[in-house]
Amino acid sequence: MQIKSGLKGLALATAFAATPALAADYVIDTQGAHASINFKINHLGFSYVVGRFNDFEGNFTWDKDKPEDSSIEVTINPESVDSNHAERDKHVRSDDFLDVSRYSQAKFVSTDYEDLGDGKGVVTGDLTLMGKTRSIDIDVEKVGEGQDPWDGYRVGFVGTTELNLPEFGINFNLGPAAETVHMDLHIEGVRQ
């Protein structure tokens, strides 16, 4: 009886070991400030204004063996824009730019992931900003993944993209170079 049970256990363990890893769900670690959504935009052709969005949340699915099955969803509070200058931030929140009184949320939902190899890829998805939804591409690179010191499992990515502000209805004239905002994304997720 014990031999049969032992063989069943061995067979079950072997079956699990042979099963490929499945995609796992992750929550973006905003609580530990291990993620950020940063931007820079040209100012009158003289320099760049840099900033970030302090309030956002999201989750993603990742499978290192099948990265093409990955997906991500992020929600951003545009009122949390922070360029380290209170008066400028007040102007950016106004209807000249983000119009946060009408549009209290921006959202990105991926629709595709193209694996380029060596931990690199392109995430395509729908960005909804100021009530307009446009498809964008984000170049991404995996930084690393593995066990953390708190008995959890994490994976992190960096990403870059450019947004054409007039496509989202933001037309305040600061010169042609200011029509493009450069986004720099840092995402670290905790496996659920």
pLDDT, average across residues 131-141: 98
Residue 50 identity (one-letter amino acid): V
Q: What is the assigned CATH class of domain 22-191?
A: mainly beta
Cα 148 from chain centroid (whole Å): 20
The pTM score is 0.86
Task: Encode pLDDT of 13-66 as tens digits.
Answer: 444 444 345 789 999 999 889 999 999 999 988 999 999 999 999 999 999 999
Identity (one letter) of the amino acid at 128? T
- State residue 168's pLDDT score: 94
**pLDDT bracket for residue 151 (50, 70, 90):** very high
Across the chain, mean pLDDT equals: 90
- Angle, alpha carbons 97-56-133 (nearest 5°): 50
Locate the domains of the chain by residue range.
Answer: 22-191
- The DSSP element (H or E) to which 91 belongs, if any, is helix 86-93
Instruction: Tell me the pLDDT band of 172, cut-offs 50, 70 and 90.
Output: confident
